[in-house]
Each structure stands twice: as structure tokens, then as C-alpha cells.
Amino acid sequence: MNTVALQDFQSYAKVNDNVINKFKNKISKTLLKIWQNYGLGTFMNGYIKVINPDDYQSIIDNTYFPYKDAVPIFVTAFGDIITLESGEYISIMYFRYGKCELMLKDFDFF
């Protein structure tokens, strides 16, 4: 895990054990470590927010039809939702532009 990216992490809550148990087989080990070590919060000067997927899942379910297994993991300061798909592909939904793009194939950046 690249702790430099998380250097300015500002935690606002711990991740509930129920959430960890629900998603631990759907998310990467790296994200699981972020949840366990840092909790929910922001980093990159508030640009990226680590979220509880349950808080954004209904938005994904109602708007992101190609990938029903997409798990929302981050939100940007601009309201973009970053998802994890098939446990390894990271995509971003740019709602203000009405498009989605693949960002990374794995989670090594973090």
C-alpha cells in the first residue's frame, strides 16, 4: 500500500464490522487494509473521500447498468463516484459529464 497517497488522511469514522464483513470478499485486500487502518475519511487534500459502499450503492444500481457487481469505494470532491468492479478494476463515473471510464486494473497505486 502506498502510504504517501494517504499521508494527509483525515478520518471521520471507523468502518463498521458489519460493513467489513459484507464487503470483504468483494473488495481488494488493499482497500480492506485502508478501512481497517484508516477508516472512512478524506485524503489528497479532501479530493478523495473513502466511503461506506452502502451509502452510494443505490445510485450505482440505478445509473450504472453495465456492471451490476460494481461497488462504490470513493467519491471525489466533484461528486464523481469511483467503483471497484470484479474485485480488481477501478472505474470512475463522471456524473456531470454523463460518462464512465476505467482508471486502473489493480489497486497497487494505493
For residue 91, being part of any structural domain is answered with: yes
Average of pLDDT values for 46-59? Answer: 96
* Lowest-pLDDT range of 7-21, 37-51, 76-90: 76-90
Q: What is the domain count for the chain?
A: 1
Q: What is the pLDDT of residue 109?
A: 53
Cell 488493499 belongs to 30
Its domain, for residue 64, covers: 10-104
Q: What is the pLDDT of residues 35-50, one digit of tens each?
A: 999 999 999 999 999 9
Buried b (16+ CB within 10 A) or exposed e, 36-67: eebebbbbeeeebbbbbbeebeeebeeebeee
- Cell numbers describing residue 13: 469514522
Residue 18: inside a domain = yes
Whether 109 is covered by a domain: the verdict is no
Q: What percentage of the chain exceeds 90 in pLDDT?
A: 60
pLDDT score of 68 more than 90: no
Residue 5 lies in a domain: no
CA angle 54, 8, 89 (to 5 degrees): 45
In a domain, 3, yes or no: no
Asked if residue 54 belongs to a domain, the reply is yes
Does residue 1 sit within a domain?
no
Q: What is the pTM of this model?
A: 0.88
The pLDDT value recorded for residue 78 is 96
Q: Tell me the one-letter amino acid at 40.
A: L
Q: Is 79 inside a domain boundary?
A: yes
What pLDDT, on a 0 to 100 scale, did the predictor assign at position 2? Answer: 61
